[in-house]
Structures are given as structure tokens and as C-alpha cells.
Amino acid sequence: MDSSEFGQVSALNRRICRTLSMLRLVAAHVGARGGSSNESRHLAGRIGAIGRAILVTGFFDGVDLESLVLDELRLHAAGPAQFSISGPEVRLASDAADLMSLVIHELATNAVKYGALSQSRAKISVGWALVHRFGRQILQFEWLETGVQIMARAPPTPGFGSELIQRLIARELKGEGKMTLLADGVRCAIAFPFESGDAAP
């Protein structure tokens, strides 16, 4: 095995380990909540989100961030009048693509249950930018829901999405993430060091 093949195998092993780590966290969350049929459907959706990222990126190619957001919103039947997307062309490396696909899935699912995708007059704005900090390129990502009448059935305590954003973004991407409940919606802000997801040689 030459050095190029060894590098590819090592990258594949790291990706499998990351994916299994995310799935263990998802499964643990379902078990902690009693494993109801509703939670089982959510588990299937979360696994599907990870699977879509793997299918789109392959094992070494990157995935376009805009496509990742659009695919998830369309999957949840969001119409073009319900959301706006802005940001430069960004190709995520496989590790970031896997995790961001799960994050975006959680945000879209919560929007269907409690937020902007459950109310016709509410809106979702998704944007991102590349900035430089301390000699490193950082991807800043924001998901903003406005015009939402906060519903009584909205979860009073942080759920899996908040845990995912706060814990896994920090652990897996060496970044930071925060969910903020607003008077008329919710804001999710994520930032992490960015490496282009162009195909490996």
C-alpha cells in the first residue's frame, strides 16, 4: 500500500468513526426519551440526513453547502416564499458535511414542529460567510427564523438539536455553536475552521 492509498484508508476510517459517534449520540438521545414511535421516526430522519451527506460527498469529495440547505428544506416541503439563502460558494469537507447535514436536518425538523415551517407568515433566512481570524479561515453559518408565534408545545428545555450544535460542533469541528430563542423565532449561529472540500487527489 503506497502513501496515497494509506491516506485514503485513514480518511475513510476517521469518517466511519465520526459517523458512528454521531449515531451513538442520536441513539442515546432516543433511549433517554423512552424510544417512542415518534422518536423512532426522528431517528430514521437523522440517520437519513447523515446518509444523504455520505451519498452526495462520496468518501473524499466535498459537498456544496447551498445544496445541502436547499435539499433539506425541499425535503420538508418548504416553498421558496418561506426561506431565503445567501452566501458564497462553499464546498464542505466530508467531516463538516456529515455534521452540518445533521444540524440542518434538526433545524428544519424543529421548524416544521414548532417554528417557521409550521406558520405561513414566518420566514427562514439562512446565510454564511468566510472570515479570517488569527490567521485561519472561519466559516460562519446562521439559521434565523422570524415572524413565529412561539407555541406552547415548544420544548421548554434544550433538545437534541441544541446538544448537537453545542457539543459536536465543538468536539468534531473545533468550533462553536449556539441556539438562541427570540421573541418571534429562533437563531442558530455556528462557526468553525474551514477547509475546502475539494476532491482529494
CATH of domain 61-193: 3.30.565.10
pLDDT of residue 7: 47
pLDDT of residue 189: 96
| Region class of 195: left (phi > 0), else alpha (psi between -120 and 50), else beta | beta
The H or E element that residue 75 is part of is helix 65-75
Q: Which residues contact 74 (CB under 8 A, 6 or more apart)?
A: none
| pLDDT digits (tens), the chain, 201 positions | 455 544 454 555 555 556 655 565 655 555 555 555 555 455 555 555 555 555 555 444 578 899 889 988 988 877 778 899 999 999 998 778 888 988 898 899 889 888 999 898 899 999 999 999 888 999 999 999 999 987 555 554 456 667 778 888 888 899 999 999 898 999 999 999 998 764 333
Segments making up each domain of the chain, as ranges: 61-193
Q: Which residues contact 197 (CB under 8 A, 6 or more apart)?
A: 57, 61, 62, 63, 91, 92, 93, 94, 96, 97
pTM for this prediction? 0.72
